């Protein structure tokens, strides 16, 4: 597990591309500036899509860890 504090965790298990990214884009505004959103996703494309979304949207990709059940979890810090 990451030591990073998570403000909002999105359960995107079972969603296929591009749904995890759509959910991230729709909900990132729910956390304060500097807050962290975790995207838990079983879709393998999320490993590339989340960092790419961060670059395009000028947000910070913090990294990847795992949810309690071992599913990959991608961390995004809201910068704007």
What residues act catalytically? 17
CA angle 52, 56, 60 (to 5 degrees): 75
DSSP readout, 24-78? HHHHGGGSPTT-EEEEE---TTHHHHHHHHHHHHT-EEEEEEE-TTS-EEEEEE-
10 DSSP β-pair partners:
39
């Amino acid at each position: 597990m990451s030591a990073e504090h998570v403000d909002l965790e999105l359960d995107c298990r079972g969603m296929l591309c591009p749904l995890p990214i759509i959910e991230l884009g729709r909900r990132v505004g729910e956390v304060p500036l500097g807050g962290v959103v975790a995207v838990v996703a079983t879709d393998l494309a999320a490993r590339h899509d989340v960092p790419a979304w961060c670059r395009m949207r000028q947000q910070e990709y913090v990294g990847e860890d795992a949810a309690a059940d071992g599913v990959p979890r991608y961390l995004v810090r809201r910068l704007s």
